Amino acid sequence: MAHQDRDRLDGRRTLVTGGTKGAGAAVAARLRELGADVYVSARTMPADYEHPERFITADTSTVEGTRLVASEMSKAGGADIIVHVVGGSSTPAGGFEAVPEEQWITELQLNFLGAVRLDHALIPAMIARGSGVVLHFTSIQRELPQWESTLPYAAAKAALRTYSKGLATELAPKGVRVNAISPGGIRTEATQVFYDRLAEANGISREAAAQRVMDSLGGVPLGRFAETEEIADLVGFLASDRASAIVGTEVVIDGGTVPTI
C-alpha cells in the first residue's frame, strides 16, 4: 500500500452517531473527505442536510432507536467503522441532591447504553469479516467529574471507558480495533447552551459561567478549548490504517487540562 493511501478510507461504510452538530458534524465531514461512505444518525435531520440518503432518524438513547440504526446499517451491508459521538448532559445544576433517579437513567442511556446496544448489534458482522474499527467518545470528566451539574454524565463516560477497554481486549485478536477519544472542552453551540444553563442557575453572566467551568477544570494550559475540526482530524487518524497498531487506548484531546503526574 502506498504511504499516502494509509490515510484513505475509500468505500468503508461508516456510522457516526450524533453527526449533525458540533464535533459529530465535523467528524462526518472529515471521514467523507477521506473517502468513507458515511451514514449519520440523529434524532432530527436538519432541513438543509446534504446527504439525506445516508441519514437515519433515530434516538440512540432508546432501545427502539438503536434497533432502527442497526437495522438500516445491516441493510446497507454493515459498518466497517463506527464512531459513537452522540452524548451530552441535561442534568440541572445544584449538585447530587438536585438529580432525581430518572435523570441518572437518562444520562446512562444517552452516554453509555446506546453505544453498548449498537456495538452488540453491529460488531458481530465485523468479526465475521475479520476487520473493523470502533471509536467511543468518552470525556475527561470521567477523570475530572464536574459535580455541580454533570456528575451523571461523567459517571456514564467512565463506564463507557471501562467497557471500551474490555471490548478492545476481546476483539483485537478477531481483527476489530476498539479505541476511545477523550475530549476536554470543545467549542460548540452545545457548550454555549451549557454555559447559559449554568449562568441562569447561579445568577451570573455567560462569561462568568464559562470562567467557572475553566476554573473547575483547573485551567486549560493551551488557553482555549479544542475546535471541532481538531477532534475530526484525530478521528480520521484513528480510523485509518496508520493507527493499525493502536488498540484499547483512550486518546485525550484537551489542551493539557488533565494534569500530568
Distance between CA 34 and CA 257 in Å, rounded?
A: 30
Residue 2 lies in a domain: no
Q: Are residues 208 and 127 in the same domain?
A: no
Strands (E), 106-162: 132-137
Distance between CA 146 and CA 156 in Å, rounded?
A: 13
Residue 113 lies in a domain: yes
**Domain CATH number, residue 34:** 3.40.50.720
Strand partners, 16: 40, 83
Model confidence over 159-197: pLDDT tens digits? 999 999 999 999 999 999 999 999 998 888 777 887 888
Model confidence over 98-131: pLDDT tens digits? 778 898 899 999 999 999 999 999 999 999 999 9
Model confidence over 207-242: pLDDT tens digits? 888 888 777 777 788 888 899 999 999 999 999 999
Q: Are residues 120 and 209 in the same domain?
A: no
Decide if pLDDT at 156 tops 70.
yes
The total number of structural domains that make up the chain: 2
For residue 248, the 8-state DSSP code is S
Q: What is the pTM of this model?
A: 0.89
Q: Are residues 131 and 242 in the same domain?
A: yes
Q: Are residues 56 and 90 in the same domain?
A: yes
Residue 121 lies in a domain: yes
Among 246, 222, 223, residue whose Cα is nearest residue 234:
246
Q: Are residues 70 and 94 in the same domain?
A: yes
For residue 241, the 8-state DSSP code is G
Q: Are residues 84 and 144 in the same domain?
A: yes
Question: What count of other Cβ atoms lies within 10 Å of the Cβ of residue 204?
Answer: 15
Domain of 134 in residue numbering reads as 13-186+227-253
Q: Are residues 196 and 234 in the same domain?
A: no
Residue 219 lies in a domain: yes
Distance between CA 25 and CA 40 in Å, rounded?
A: 9
Q: Are residues 104 and 206 in the same domain?
A: no
Residue 259 lies in a domain: no
Question: What count of other Cβ atoms lies within 10 Å of the Cβ of residue 97?
Answer: 6
Residue 192 lies in a domain: yes
pLDDT confidence tier of residue 150, bands split at 50, 70 and 90: confident
Residue 52 lies in a domain: yes
Model confidence over 1-51: pLDDT tens digits? 555 688 899 999 999 999 999 999 999 999 999 999 999 999 999 999 999
Q: Are residues 20 and 80 in the same domain?
A: yes
250-253 and 81-84 strand pairing: unpaired
Q: Are residues 143 and 245 in the same domain?
A: yes
Radius of gyration of the chain (CA): 18
Q: Are residues 62 and 84 in the same domain?
A: yes
Q: Are residues 198 and 72 in the same domain?
A: no
* H helices, E strands: number in the chain: 8, 7
